[in-house]
């Protein structure tokens, strides 16, 4: 950077050149003064009326997909820029396929560096392709602009506070990839001897009571009029109801404050997303319940059964943004939601661990008149006696995530799961971001 020394040197050369009648000294002094003045003006106005922004649509992607967004730099002044460096801060979960990447001081972040040369009133666009190696809701930005004079004497920086967001859905695969049966992937509880189900929200009359009818199905008014026990008669429908219960606990024994195993968690979420997608595509009413909470509040994930692409998008968005640590045992959540589910709903419980609260929750769902199917993720989860179970083998799960960064370290998750409870984990610690945890046990 130029200083008063350059100005003093320039004036001394000019004065000495005039006194000694040496034109060369005067010329050298004038060059030094001109360079210092040009440097001062350049550094003062180099970033004035310089605009930077990111352009990309849509702002949603799936786990493992690539996205392309445009970097646009505009110079809205007559002063050209010999060089302009842009350091755009991005999450580590977005990996540029090309370009120079610089580590950031912030955890789980890095900078994508670009160098531009702009003429007066010029606009330059560059396209960047990135791969999404994790689900989540990610912030892109802020950016840092750096420029200076052509002589390399001065450098000036400015921050661009623009922050864009990208939502990455969990990966969705066909159930056959996970090793689940293709015809009836969630068990005999889904199949009925009748192809027509009953809609418990629409009562069309009353019928004689049958042994086994739940208490909520008794039509008390009709019973009082006829002096015999009567049950509600519902409107028939061909749509069945599913409730997907997702267990965010990956360590067992309700590990709210002891972290989670990211590899196992991603496999569980992938399975829940794939089951939900299958049910919606089959035209069934499907709900989602998880014992993790969303950024909008501390309440657990609760999406009552519905159908349609909009509802599927809402479920995938919830799975993308849900925090990884459980706020309650999954069995307690099942007991809380059992009474509110329409009678005859099939509950699909996706979990990587089983415990006593889970078994109690399954029994509560059965007592409320719901069918239960247990989907066990991995080879270590034990079956619950009396519950129909299907298993997603670890090999199948890794195949579903083939080609992703998670696969490179997939062999290390078993040792993290088998670590004694309460033992300090010897793996990288979690950042404050829910999607910023390294593979392994985050304490």
The domain segmentation of the chain, as residue ranges, is 4-45, 50-169, 197-237, 241-417
Distance CA 229, CA 212 (A): 13
Q: Mean pLDDT over residues 308-336, rounded? A: 93
pLDDT confidence of 155, banded at 50, 70, 90? confident
Residues recorded for the chain: 443
Task: Give me the pLDDT at residue 38, please.
Answer: 74
* Domains 50-169 and 241-417 fall in the same CATH topology: no
Cβ neighbours around 182 below 10 Å, total: 9
Task: Give me the pLDDT at residue 352, please.
Answer: 93
Q: Angle CA(166)–CA(167)–CA(170) in degrees, nearest 5?
A: 140
Are 50 and 42 a contacting pair, CB within 8 Å? no
- The per-residue pLDDT for range 34-45, each reduced to its tens digit, is 777 777 778 888
Task: Give me the pLDDT at residue 233, please.
Answer: 76
- The per-residue pLDDT for range 345-366, each reduced to its tens digit, is 999 999 999 989 999 999 999 9
List C-alpha distances in Å: 21 to 16, 17, 24, 31. Answer: 8, 5, 9, 17
- The per-residue pLDDT for range 361-406, each reduced to its tens digit, is 999 999 998 999 999 998 888 899 878 899 998 777 666 665 444 4
List C-alpha distances in Å: 287 to 224, 319, 347. Answer: 35, 12, 9
CATH fold, domain 50-169, is Immunoglobulin-like (2.60.40)
Task: Give me the pLDDT at residue 425, please.
Answer: 35
Are 10 and 33 a contacting pair, CB within 8 Å? yes
- The domain 241-417 having CATH identifier 3.40.50.410: the answer here is yes
Q: Residue 407 pLDDT > 50, yes or no?
A: no
Task: Give me the pLDDT at residue 201, please.
Answer: 62
Task: Give me the pLDDT at residue 123, please.
Answer: 96
Query: 417 versus 171: which is more confidently predicted?
Result: 171
Residue-averaged pLDDT of the chain: 80
Q: Which of 118-132, 197-211, 293-307, 314-328 has the lowest mean pLDDT?
A: 197-211
Q: Which of 54, 55, 60 is nearest to 132 (CA)?
A: 60
List C-alpha distances in Å: 335 to 247, 316, 368. Answer: 14, 24, 10
Task: Give me the pLDDT at residue 438, please.
Answer: 30
Query: 194 versus 228: which is more confidently predicted?
Result: 228
């Amino acid at each position: 950077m130029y200083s008063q020394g350059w100005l003093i040197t320039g004036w001394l050369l000019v004065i000495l050149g005039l006194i000694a009648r040496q034109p060369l000294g005067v010329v050298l002094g004038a060059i030094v003064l001109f360079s210092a003045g040009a440097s001062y003006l350049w550094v003062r106005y180099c970033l004035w009326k310089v605009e930077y922004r990111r352009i990309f649509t849509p702002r949603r992607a799936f786990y493992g997909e690539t996205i392309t967004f445009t970097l646009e730099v505009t110079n809205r002044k007559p002063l050209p820029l010999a060089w302009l460096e842009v350091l755009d801060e991005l999450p580590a979960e977005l990996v540029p396929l090309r370009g120079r990447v610089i580590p950031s001081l912030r955890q789980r972040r890095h900078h994508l560096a670009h160098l531009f040369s702009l003429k007066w009133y010029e606009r330059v666009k560059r396209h960047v392709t990135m791969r999404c190696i994790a689900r989540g809701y990610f912030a892109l930005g802020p950016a840092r602009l750096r420029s200076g004079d052509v002589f390399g004497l001065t450098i000036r920086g400015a921050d661009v506070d623009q922050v864009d967001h990208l939502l990455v859905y969990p990966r969705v695969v066909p159930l056959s990839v996970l090793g689940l049966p293709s015809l009836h992937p969630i068990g005999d509880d889904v199949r009925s001897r009748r192809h027509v189900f009953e809609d418990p929200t629409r009562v069309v009359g009353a019928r004689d009571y049958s042994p086994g009818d739940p208490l909520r199905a008794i039509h008390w008014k009709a019973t009082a009029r006829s002096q015999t026990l009567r049950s509600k008669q519902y409107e028939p429908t061909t749509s069945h109801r599913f409730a997907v219960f997702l267990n965010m606990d990956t360590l067992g024994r309700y590990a709210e404050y002891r972290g989670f195993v990211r590899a196992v968690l991603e496999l569980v979420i992938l399975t829940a997303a794939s089951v939900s997608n299958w049910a919606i595509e089959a035209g069934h009413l499907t709900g989602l319940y998880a014992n993790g909470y969303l950024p909008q509040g501390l309440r657990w994930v609760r999406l009552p059964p519905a159908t349609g692409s909009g509802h599927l998008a809402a479920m995938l968005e919830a799975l993308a943004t849900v925090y990884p640590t459980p706020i309650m045992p999954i069995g307690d959540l099942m007991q809380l939601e059992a009474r509110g589910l329409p009678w005859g709903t099939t509950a699909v419980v996706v979990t990587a661990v089983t415990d006593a609260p889970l078994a109690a929750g399954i029994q509560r769902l059965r007592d409320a008149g719901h069918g239960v199917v247990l989907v066990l993720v991995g080879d270590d989860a034990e079956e619950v006696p009396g519950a129909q179970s299907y298993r997603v083998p670890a090999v199948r799960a890794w195949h579903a995530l083939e080609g992703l960064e998670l696969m490179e370290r997939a062999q290390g998750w078993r040792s993290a799961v088998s670590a004694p409870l309460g033992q300090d984990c010897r793996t990288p610690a979690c950042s404050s971001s829910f999607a910023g945890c390294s593979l392994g046990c985050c304490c």
